[in-house]
Amino acid sequence: MHKVSIANRHGDMGSLGDASNKFIAQHQFPLEYQEDESLIQADHDRMFQWDFDYTRDTFKKHLETGELYLPTWVKSAKPEAVMALLKDLFKVQESHPDVEWTGYRITGTVNRSNGYPVYSLWLFSKTKGSGTKVYSGSHAPNVSGGDSHREDFFDRKDW
């Protein structure tokens, strides 16, 4: 597992931005985890390639709009709502029916070839009784700059 950094410059995630694996959100997500714990990850653009109609409809169902609204929606959504979106996108009821997902992370990268954001979506399952440390929010040891007092990308007031 690796740390992610906070997109703290204006326009970092915009079409001319240079964001690469920038923190958007996390809830109960580890820096390191045990071998018997589960982690799945996919980029949202790949999900569209795998099943366009399902992915589009899932974003619309949860966000009531398209996927580009994801960072804004996540800022005000409850962790349970974000978890429900990610579980639906990953189709965990089919692919991992016996896994209890306990955390998530969302990061963003700007595709340099076309300027569109690509959101990396992660689901994590912590084993009951595990000593794995998990973190929520940007002020965490698994986020570069997260244990400082720099502004979070979504808390900027100068936009």
pLDDT in tens, 64-103: 999 989 999 999 999 999 999 999 999 999 999 999 999 9
Domain locations in the chain as residue ranges: 4-131
pLDDT at 154: 43
The model's pLDDT over 99-110, given as tens digits with 9 standing for 90+, comes to 999 999 999 988
pLDDT of residue 56: 97
User: What does the DSSP assignment read for the chain?
Assistant: ---EEE--STTTTSTT---SSEEEEEESEESS--TTSEEEEEEHHHHHHH-HHHHHHHHHHHHSS-GGGHHHHHHHS-HHHHHHHHHHHHTHHHH-TT----EEEEEEEE-TTT--EEEEEEEEEPPTT----EE-SSSSTTEETTTTTPPPGGG-S--
- Structure confidence by residue, pLDDT tens digits, 100-158: 999 999 999 888 888 788 999 999 999 999 999 999 998 888 888 654 333 444 443 33
Is the pLDDT assigned to residue 23 strictly greater than 60?
Answer: yes
Flag whether the pTM goes above 0.85. Answer: no
Per-residue pLDDT at 24 exceeds 70:
yes
Residue 27, pLDDT above cutoff 80: yes
Banded model confidence at residue 1, pLDDT cuts 50, 70, 90: low
Taking Cα atoms as reference points, which of 20, 51, 50, 27 lies closest to residue 117? 20
Residue 157 is predicted with a pLDDT of: 39
| pLDDT higher than threshold 60 for residue 16 | no
